[in-house]
Amino acid sequence: MNILIDIGHPGHVHLLHGVAEEMKKRGHKVFYSVRDIPVAKRLMEHYGMTPWVDLGGKKDSLMGKAQTVLSQDMQLLRFVRKNHIDLGLSSGLVLSHVSRLTKMKSFMFDDDDDAAEPLVTKYGHPLSDIVFTPDCIHRKTKHAVYYAGTHELAYLHPNRFAPDPSVLQHAGLVEGERFFIMRFVALKGHHDVGQAGLSLEQKRALVDLLSPHGRVIITSERAVEPEFEPYRLPVPPEEIHSLMAYSSMFVGDSQTMTSEAAILGVPALKCNTFAGRLSVPNMLEDKYGLCYAYLPERFEDMLAQIRHLLDMPSESLHAEWHAKRQQTLHEMIDPTEFFINHIEHNEALS
Structural domain tally of the chain? 2
CA separation, residue 30 to residues 4, 95, 151, 328 (Å): 6, 15, 21, 32
Q: What is the DSSP secondary structure assignment for residue 348, as one 8-state letter?
A: G
Burial of 218 (C-beta count, 10 Å sphere; 0-12/13-18/19+)? buried
Element (H, E) at 70: helix 62-83
Q: What is the DSSP string of 176-245?
A: T--EEEEEE----SGGGTT-----HHHHHHHHHHHGGGSEEEEEESSPPPGGGGGGB--S-GGGHHHHHH
Q: Work out whether the CA dihedral 128, 130, 132, 137 comes out positive or negative.
A: positive
Residues 296 and 343 in one domain: no
Burial of 338 (C-beta count, 10 Å sphere; 0-12/13-18/19+)? middle
User: For position 64, what pLDDT does the model report?
Assistant: 63
User: For position 61, what pLDDT does the model report?
Assistant: 58
Residues 317 and 264 in one domain: yes
Residues 153 and 260 in one domain: no
* 58 touches 40 (CB < 8 A): no
Residues 69 and 132 in one domain: yes
- CATH code of the domain in which 300 resides: 3.40.50.2000
User: For position 296, what pLDDT does the model report?
Assistant: 95
User: For position 348, what pLDDT does the model report?
Assistant: 66
* 98 touches 74 (CB < 8 A): no
Q: What is the DSSP secondary structure assignment for residue 8, as one 8-state letter?
A: S
Residues 130 and 174 in one domain: no
d(C-alpha 66, C-alpha 246), whole Å: 41
What letter represents residue 53's amino acid?
V
User: For position 56, what pLDDT does the model report?
Assistant: 82
Q: Is the pTM of this model over 0.85?
A: yes
Residues 210 and 147 in one domain: no
pLDDT tens digits in sequence order for the chain, 350 residues long: 999 999 999 999 999 999 999 999 999 999 999 999 999 999 999 999 999 999 987 666 566 666 777 888 899 999 999 999 999 999 998 999 999 999 999 999 999 999 999 999 999 999 999 999 999 999 999 999 999 999 999 999 999 999 999 999 999 999 889 999 999 986 444 444 456 789 999 999 999 999 999 999 999 877 888 999 999 988 999 999 999 999 999 999 999 999 999 999 999 999 999 888 999 999 999 999 999 999 999 999 999 999 999 999 999 999 999 999 999 999 999 999 999 999 988 766 76
Residues 75 and 174 in one domain: no
User: For position 88, what pLDDT does the model report?
Assistant: 97
Residues 344 and 292 in one domain: no
Range of the domain at 345: 2-158+334-349
Residues 117 and 176 in one domain: no
Residues 304 and 189 in one domain: yes
Residues 127 and 75 in one domain: yes
Residues 198 and 63 in one domain: no
